[in-house]
Amino acid sequence: MWKTTLRRFLIMIPQIILLSILVFMMAKALPGDALSGLLDPSVDPSMIEAQREKLGLNNPWYVQYWDWITKAIQGDFGQSFRFKMPVTDLIGQRITNTIWLSLVTLIFTYLIAIPLGIISGRYNDTWGDRLITGYTYLGFAAPLFIFSLLMLWVFGFHLQAFPTEGSVTPGLVPGTLEYSFSKIYHILLPALSMALITTVSTVQYLRSEIIDTKQRDFILTARAKGASESRIYTHHILRNSLLPIAAFFGYEITGLIGGTVFVEYIFSYPGMGQLFLNSIMLRDFSVVTALVLLYGIASILGSLISDIILSIVDPRIRIK
Amino acid sequence: MRRRLGFKMLLPLMLAFMIGLSGCTSSKGNDAAQPDPTNTQNQTEGEKRQTEDGLFSIKDFSNIKTNEGEAIEGGTITYGLVSDTPFEGVLNYNFYSGNPDFRVLQWFDEALLTWDQNYVYTNDGAATYEISDDGRTFTFTIRDNVNWQDGQPVTAEDWEFAHEVIGHKDYDGPRYGSDFTNIEGMVEYHEGKADKISGIKVLSEKKLQITYLQSTPSLLTGSIWTYPLAKHIFGDMEVGNMLSSPEVREKPIGFGPFKVESIIPGESVVFTKNSDYWRGEPHLDKVVLKVINPTTIVQQLKSGGVDLVDSFPIEQFPDNANMSNVEYLGIIDRAYTYIGFKLGKWDEANKVVVPDPNAKMADVNLRRAMWYAVDNDQVGKRFYHGLRWNATTLIPPSHPEFHDASNPGIPYDVEKANQILDEAGYKKNGEFRTNPDGSELVINFISMTGGDIAEPLARYYVQSWNAIGLNVQLDMVEFNTFYDRVGSNGKDDPKVDVYQGAWSVGIDVDPTGLYGRDALFNFPRYASEENDRLLAEGVSEKAFDVATRQAIYKEWQQFMIEEIPVFPTLYRSQIVPVNKRILNYAIGDGTGVYLHQLAVTQEKPVVAE
C-alpha cells in the first residue's frame, strides 16, 4: 500500500517537470507579449525595448525557462505585468474564492448525485428513473456556460433571488457574521449551476453501478437468506456501489477546475478562473504560466488521490 | 494627440470587442467648465430616436441627463464598471495604467486644472494658472480650500513632489515621457545629475511655478501634469515601493468629492461623501462601484442593479433602445477606424520611417481608387445602425474646433474609382487588373478578429475592391499578431500591403505621434517634407493662436486626403444608459456638471417595466 503511494508520488515529479516545460513553451508560442498591447506614442519605443530586455523577454526560451523555474520552485512566480504585484500575492487573493466555490460545488454535486443515483438505480425502468436519466442526458448535452447564463438570468435577474456578480456585498466588514453569510450567498448560485451539470456523470455512474451490483451472486445469496429489501440496499448494494464513486473524488476535483473558469467568468466571480482568462487575453505571462502550472499540479494531485483511494478500496489494482 | 490625463493616449481599439485594451473611452464631465454641451443637443425624454429604417444618429443624443423630478436628501447609487477584467487596483493618478482603475479614481480624486469642451485648461478648477509672455513659464495657484481627505491641505510641494516621483529613475509607472522631459531640468534630474528639478519652483504654500523648455499649444491641452501626490504620506517612501504600497492599493487618498470607504480588490469599492470637498458638500451619501460583466449589463440595468455604467457595448444598443427605466446619453468618441497602406519600412537603427518609392501601394492613384471604391456610409448603416458613420478626415469630429466639417473627404464613387485605375494604367487582365507595367497585382489585406462584425466588415471591403478589379487577399488575424505584423515592434511584415486598424485619439489634436517621421506608430511608414512642416507648425509657438492652428490642421487634413497614407473609414459614438432617478449627470468634456452635484429622485433605482 505505502509502496504504491510512494511509487505513484515519484512518477508525479517528472510529470510536473514535463508539464512546466509544456506550459512555458505554449505560453511563449502565443503571439505577442505583455508589452505588445502597449501602443502609446508617448512611450518611447526604446523604453519598451529596454523593459523587454529587463523582463528577459528577448532571451532564448530555455534561458527564460530556467530563470522562471528556479524562482518558481522557491515560490516566486515573478511580477504580474498588469496588476504590478507579485503573482503569488495575486493568486493568493483569488485562490480562497475558488477553493470555496469548488468546495461548495463538490458538496452540491454529491448531495444531488447520491439520492438521484440511488433512486434511479434501485427503481430502474420506472418513470422516476426515466425522469432522472432524462435529466442526466440533458446535463451531458448542455454546455456549462450556456446553462450558467440561463441560471443567472432566471434566478439572478428574473427572480432576483441571488446576487449576480462578485464574491461579497460591497461595504461589509471582513470577519463579521454578515460578511461570511454574504460570501456563502454569493457562492450558492454559481456552485449550484456548476453542480447541476457536473453531477450528471456521477448520477449515471452510480445508477449503473447499483444495477450491476443488484444482479451479483452475493445479493442473490442475501435475498435467499431472507434479508429485507432495505437491508440489502443499505448494507450490500450501496456500500459496494459507492466505493468507486468515492474513488472518483480526485477526478472530480480535476473536473471542477475546468468548470470554475467558465462559471467565474459568467458570474463575475473573482477567482482564479477569471484571472486566468484575463491574463491570457492580456498576455500577462507570469500569471498564466503560474496558473496553468497550479491547475496542472491540482489535476495531477487529483488523480493521485483517486489512485490512492482506489487502491485502498480495491486491492486488485495496486501496482506491483 | 493626448488624453486628458496628460499622457498621450493612442491605444488601438479592438473592433467592437470588449478586451480591457479599449480603455480609451472618453472622460467624464466632472472636470469641465463650460455649461453647454458642444456637439449634441438636448432631446425630450422617451422620444424614439430610431428612424423608420432602423437607424440611429448620434446627433439625437444629449450628453447631459434630462433632470426630471425633485432630488431627495442623500441617497446611494451603484456605478457599474463594465469590464470582463477586474480593475488592477493601482489607485493613484501618478501610477495607474488601466482604464478600469481610472474609473475608480475619478470618484475620489481629480486634476488640479479643469478644461473646457475643446480640452483647453480653464481657471475653474482646484487651481488656476497664468502664463508668462514667452509662453514657457506657468504659475499655478491652488485654491485655499483644497484639502486632502485626511484634512491636510493640498500644497504646491505636493505638486512638485508628483513631478519628482515620476521623474525619478526608480519610478515604475507609465507616465514619464515627452510631457516631462519638456520641463526644464527634468532630464538632468532623471539621470541623477541634479537633486531638484531646476524648472519647478515652489513660490509659496499654494503657489507653484513650472518652466517648460518648449512652448507649444499642446501644453494647454493635456501636457501639464496636474495630479499632486500627497507628500505627507508618500514623502518617506522609496519611489520603487510606492506603486505596490497599501497607500496606493488599499487606503488610497485624493481630494475629490467622495472618499474610499472600503475596497474588495478587483471587485467593488464603496465611496462615502467627502463633506470637505472644495466645490461644496456632495449630494449623495454613498456610491457603490462594482465590476459587471458585459454579458449581463442589460439585465443589470433593467433590474436596477446599477444606476450608471462607465460604458455600454454599442452592438447591444439597437435591441435595447427602448429600455423604459433609463435615458441614453451619447457623445462622439475620440476615435476613428481606418484603412492603412504600407508605404515603407521602419529604420530601427535611426528610429525613423523610410518610405519606399517602389512599395506595392506607392502609387497614390491606386490608393485613391480604393477609397472611392468603398461605401462607408452604408457600412455605418448596415453594420452599426448608424452609430458609426462615414469618416472624412483624420481629425475626428470629437475635436469640433479642429475637425474640418466642410471637407467631404472622398465619397463613394465606383465609376470614378475605375476611371482612376484605367487612367493610371492598371489594365484588366481577365477578372483582375495588373500593374501598369503588366506584372501581376495581388494586394494582401489584414484585419483583426474580434466581435461578430469584424469578419463580414473586412469581407465587404475585399468585395468592394474586387468589384473595381483589384485582387485583394484577406487574412483575419488576432489582435496581438495583427499589430506585430503591422509593425508595433518596428519589424514590419513585408507581406502586408493594406490593413484595417483603429485609433483612439487623445485630447490634444496634434497627430505627430501617429503620422510623424520618427513615430514608430506611423504604421503606413509614410513621410514627406510637407507633412513634417505641417505637423511641426501645428505645435509651434504661432499655433497658440487658435485660428492659425485651425488653418494648419485644416491644411493637414486636406493634405492627407491627397496623399492617402491611410484613409479614415468610420467615426464612432459612445452611448451610455443612465437610470431615470439620476439627476445632474453628464458625459464628455466641458459640460460643467460635476460629480458632487449628482443626486437621485428616489431611494431605489427605477426598474424596467
Structural domain spans, chain A: 2-87, 88-283
Q: pLDDT at residue B217 above 90?
A: no
Please, what is the Cα angle at A10 between A8 and A15, to 5 degrees? 90
CATH architecture assigned to B340-573 = Roll (3.10)
The nearest CA of chain A is from the CA of B443 a distance in Å of: 24
What pLDDT is recorded for position B396? 94
Q: How many CB atoms lie within 10 A of CB A208?
A: 15
With b for 16 or more beta-carbon neighbours within 10 A and e for fewer, the B485-520 pattern comes to bbbbbeebeeebbbbbbbbbbbbbbbbbbbbbbebb
Interatomic CA distance for residues B564 and B60, integer angstroms: 32
CB neighbour list of residue B258: distance below 8 Å, 6 or more residues apart: B107, B108, B271, B272, B273, B274, B282, B284, B287, B595
Interatomic CA distance for residues B40 and B20, integer angstroms: 28
What pLDDT is recorded for position B474? 94
Q: Which DSSP category does A201 fall into? A: H
Interatomic CA distance for residues B235 and B191, integer angstroms: 20
Interatomic CA distance for residues A15 and B489, integer angstroms: 36
Q: Which of B118, B108, B115, B98 is nearest to B38 (CA)?
A: B118
The nearest CA of chain A is from the CA of B100 a distance in Å of: 12
Q: pLDDT at residue B515 above 50?
A: yes
B527-542 pLDDT, tens digit each: 999 999 999 999 888 8
Minimal Cβ distance to A268: which of B244, B293, B481? B293
Rounded to two decimals, the ipTM of the complex is 0.75
Minimal Cβ distance to B262: which of A36, A166, A171? A171
Residues of B in contact with A168 (CB under 8 A): 264, 267
Q: Which DSSP category does A259 fall into? A: H
Q: Given the C-alpha cell 505596490, which residue does it identify?
A: B244
What pLDDT is recorded for position A236? 83
Contacting B with CB below 8 Å, chain A residues are: 30-32, 36-37, 39-46, 82-85, 93, 149, 152-153, 156-157, 160, 164-168, 170-171, 173, 265-266, 268, 270, 274, 277-278, 281-283
pLDDT band for position B237 (cuts 50, 70, 90) = very high
C-alpha cell at B183: 520641463
Nearest residue of A to residue B8 by CA position?
Answer: A42
Q: How many CB atoms lie within 10 A of CB B4?
A: 24
Residues of B in contact with A274 (CB under 8 A): 86
Nearest residue of B to residue A170 by CA position?
Answer: B268
Q: Is the dihedral of CA A191, A192, A197, A200 positive or negative?
A: positive
Looking at every residue in chain B, the average pLDDT score rounds to 86
CATH class of B111-238: alpha beta
Residues of B in contact with A36 (CB under 8 A): 480, 483-484, 488-489
Entry pTM: 0.80
The nearest CA of chain B is from the CA of A93 a distance in Å of: 8
With an 8 Å Cβ cutoff, are A170 and B290 in contact? yes
What pLDDT is recorded for position A318? 62
Residues of B in contact with A165 (CB under 8 A): 290-293, 296, 300
Q: Which amino acid is at B227?
A: Y
CATH no., domain B61-105+256-325+580-609 = 3.40.190.10
Minimal Cβ distance to B12: which of A39, A45, A268? A39
Q: pLDDT at residue B557 above 50?
A: yes
The nearest CA of chain A is from the CA of B90 a distance in Å of: 8
Q: pLDDT at residue B189 above 90?
A: yes
Q: How many CB atoms lie within 10 A of CB B251?
A: 14
Interatomic CA distance for residues B515 and B566, integer angstroms: 10
Average pLDDT over residues B99-109: 91
Average pLDDT over residues B69-82: 91
Q: Burial, B581: exposed, middle or buried (Cβ in 10 Å; 0-12, 13-18, 19+)?
A: buried
User: Could you confirm whether domain A88-283 is CATH 1.10.3720.10?
Assistant: yes
Interatomic CA distance for residues A60 and A26, integer angstroms: 14
Q: Burial, A100: exposed, middle or buried (Cβ in 10 Å; 0-12, 13-18, 19+)?
A: middle
B417-433 pLDDT, tens digit each: 999 999 999 998 888 99
With an 8 Å Cβ cutoff, are B288 and A153 in contact? no
Q: Which DSSP category does B296 fall into? A: G
The nearest CA of chain B is from the CA of A21 a distance in Å of: 23
Interatomic CA distance for residues B309 and B262, integer angstroms: 20
With an 8 Å Cβ cutoff, are B479 and A278 in contact? no
Minimal Cβ distance to B484: which of A36, A43, A270? A36
Q: How many CB atoms lie within 10 A of CB B416?
A: 17
What pLDDT is recorded for position B47? 45
CATH 3.90.76.10 occupies which residues in chain B? 111-238
What averages of pLDDT result for each successive group of 10 residues across chain A (320 residues)?
79 85 80 63 64 73 81 80 82 87 91 90 90 92 89 87 84 84 91 91 89 87 86 83 78 80 86 86 82 85 82 67
The nearest CA of chain A is from the CA of B469 a distance in Å of: 34
Minimal Cβ distance to B268: which of A166, A265, A277? A166
C-alpha cell at A11: 512518477
- Which range of A289-293, B20-24, B84-88 scores highest in mean pLDDT? It is A289-293
Interface A:B, Cβ pairs < 8 A: 144
B255-290 pLDDT, tens digit each: 999 999 998 888 889 999 999 999 999 999 999 999
Q: pLDDT at residue B135 above 80?
A: yes
Average pLDDT over residues B59-88: 87
Interatomic CA distance for residues B497 and B233, integer angstroms: 53
Q: Which of B196, B160, B158, B190 is nearest to B177 (CA)?
A: B190
Interatomic CA distance for residues B515 and B353, integer angstroms: 10
Residues of A in contact with B244 (CB under 8 A): 84-85
Residues of A in contact with B520 (CB under 8 A): 41, 45
Nearest residue of B to residue A32 by CA position?
Answer: B480
B573-599 pLDDT, tens digit each: 999 999 999 999 999 888 889 999 999
Residues of A in contact with B12 (CB under 8 A): 37, 39
CATH 3.10.105.10 occupies which residues in chain B? 340-573
H/E/C letters for each residue in A12-81? HHHHHHHHHHHHHHHHHHCCCCCCCCCCCCCCCHHHHHHHHHHHCCCCCHHHHHHHHHHHHHCCCCCECC
Q: Which DSSP category does A156 fall into? A: I
With an 8 Å Cβ cutoff, are A170 and B178 in contact? no
Nearest residue of A to residue B522 by CA position?
Answer: A41
Nearest residue of B to residue A277 by CA position?
Answer: B85
Please, what is the Cα angle at A53 between A52 and A58, to 5 degrees? 80
What pLDDT is recorded for position A83? 80
